[in-house]
Amino acid sequence: MSTVPLKGRRPGGPLRRRWIPAIFVLPAVGYLLVFGLYPLHQLVLMSVSDVSSANILGTWPAAGLKNFRTEIGAPEFAGVLTETLVLVVVILTVNIIGGTLAALSMRRNSWAVRVALGLMVFVWALPAVVVGNLWRFLLTRDGPVNAVLTGLHVVPEPVPWLVQGHLALVVLSMVSAWTILPFSTLVLRAALVDVPRDQVEAAALDGAGVVGRFWYVVLPQLRPTLLLLAILMVVNGFRTFDLIYVMTGGGPGTATSTLPFLAYRQAFQAFQFDVGAATAVLSLGSVAVLAGMYALASRGRVPL
């Protein structure tokens, strides 16, 4: 007895349908291969080779781990690593604490909150070059900030915000944290909306105060979001470059240099392409570890 295929069904149809999404993904995969993986491969290869301005376009002799030993043993490496960690800690602290407080204050949906959220999105959307130039203008010796402080007799003379080593690092870290604060606030505010109000009201009926309700009811439910946000903030701190370039240029000296900025200086100012690549790989390794933690945490594989 012959079998007649059902109308509208074709052999291999489900298989073809499974391949359709892959076809649409191919352009993105190609883009990543050309502009992502290939430059990364070249960076790693350069970090284990002898590369200078003389042979940058030629053959790169293998150097093993010499560039990494040179970088780690350099006098400025420990200081730059410390400055990177200071920047990361300030960004993390300001965004976790400040973002939580700001999100709590904006939990209700009023016109004032909507205006504040709009302004925060505007600040967050500003290019880093614009933000850096704005703050550099505000914090110059004759800028508006010093004019107000000296006019109110808060300080006897203008403060060298961006030319005094430790002070410049703190100011730069605070500005960097300020640029990301709107993102942290929006993320935490969205997480607060998902906290069941009946649990908060039940805790209030049991006699818990404002601090108690936050600590025992709200905070445990924010913990997964806070963990993911903390990892993102640390990653952002390790990759900060544009604000440093615009506001301080890494100075005075190397007081505001981070690992990415040090790699830029070594490669494009001192033409030590191999050592600069080694520094970039060290910074990239730190970000890769944190990105892996983020991926695991987003899948619920990191204990919270």
- Mind listing the pLDDT tens digit for each residue in 209-240? 888 888 888 888 888 889 888 888 888 888 88
* Beta pairing partners, 49: 62
Average pLDDT value for the chain = 85
Mean pLDDT over 27-54 rounds to 87
Cα(236)–Cα(219) distance, integer angstroms: 24
DSSP state of 140: S
65-298: which CATH number, 3.30.70.920, 1.10.3720.10, 3.40.190.10, 3.40.50.2300? Answer: 1.10.3720.10
Is the Cβ–Cβ distance between 122 and 116 less than 8 Å?
Answer: no
Q: Indicate the pTM of the whole model.
A: 0.83
Q: How far is 70 from 68, CA to CA, in rounded Å?
A: 5
